[in-house]
Amino acid sequence: MRLLWQFRCPILLALSFLSATAQAQVVMTTIGYRTVSRAEAMSINQGHRPTGEWFDGDGPPQLGDGFFYLTNTFPSWKDPEPDDWFCVIKADQDKLQAIGKAWIPEYWDRLIAGQKYEKFHLWSGKEVDIMRYLHFMRIRNRERALRFSWVATGKPWSKIDRIPPLHMLIPTDVIVDDQLGLWAKCFETAEEVEEFSSTIHDLLSWEDILQKINWLGWAEIIGDPEDPPDPFPADFFDTDE
């Protein structure tokens, strides 16, 4: 005669296995794109994730401390720099939902006293001012919050989109501590992207790669993206540059 616990053990083991399997299933979502050097691309492709050793070093950072920027549009393949590679960045969807996010406006009028305000130029990249703004906006774990804004300068990447792209700053500690479960893949040519997307459908598709990521529709980003800066004149694209 079998005891009751002898019947229960296999059932409990099966339930435990199913629970562990469910917990192990991670949903990944594309969060942005990045243009990198060949050396950084090789480093990323080796482990399929960005690391803290590669940073953007051209010019002052627009959104404060931290140097890992992504854009919401895939870069144009027309006339790339000789060393340019193009990367797709994905994140664990649950971890992405859990982390703080904020739009960083170009200017912030901070109330000092009574009716007196002090204007801060947040896009100057001064970390102390951005941290004050994030504190004012009550962003959780603001030191590790993702920061979003329009790109301040530069020509549009596409003659279809007549406004600057958006970009996101991922704080360095978030990358080093792998708080988003990031996954990345870099490509040297458009043909490589298309070939890869046609053979590994469960990771990303050609349409998935080329889509513009709608950060403006992410309801969990605190703040207002405001209007894009310095609209380009209607005849800007009439040149043959």
Sheet of 101-103: strand order equals: 101-103, 146-150, 166-170, 68-71, 28-36, 85-92, 183-187
**Comparing 203 with 36, which gets the higher pLDDT?**
36
- Could you give the C-alpha distances from 239 to 75, 155, 156, 233, in angstroms and in order? 20, 13, 14, 12
Position 4 scores a pLDDT of: 47
Q: Tell me the per-residue pLDDT of 43-100, one tens digit each, with 9 for 90 and over.
A: 999 999 887 665 555 555 789 888 788 988 877 555 567 788 988 899 999 999 999 9
Q: Is residue 201's pLDDT more than 60?
A: no
pLDDT bucket at 12, cuts 50 / 70 / 90: very low
> What's the pTM value of the predicted model, to 2 decimals?
0.77
What are the extents of the domains in the chain?
28-229
Position 137 scores a pLDDT of: 95
User: What rounded mean pLDDT belongs to the chain?
Assistant: 77
Q: Tell me the per-residue pLDDT of 143-175, one tens digit each, with 9 for 90 and over.
A: 999 999 998 765 544 444 556 788 999 998 999
Q: Is residue 231's pLDDT more than 70?
A: no
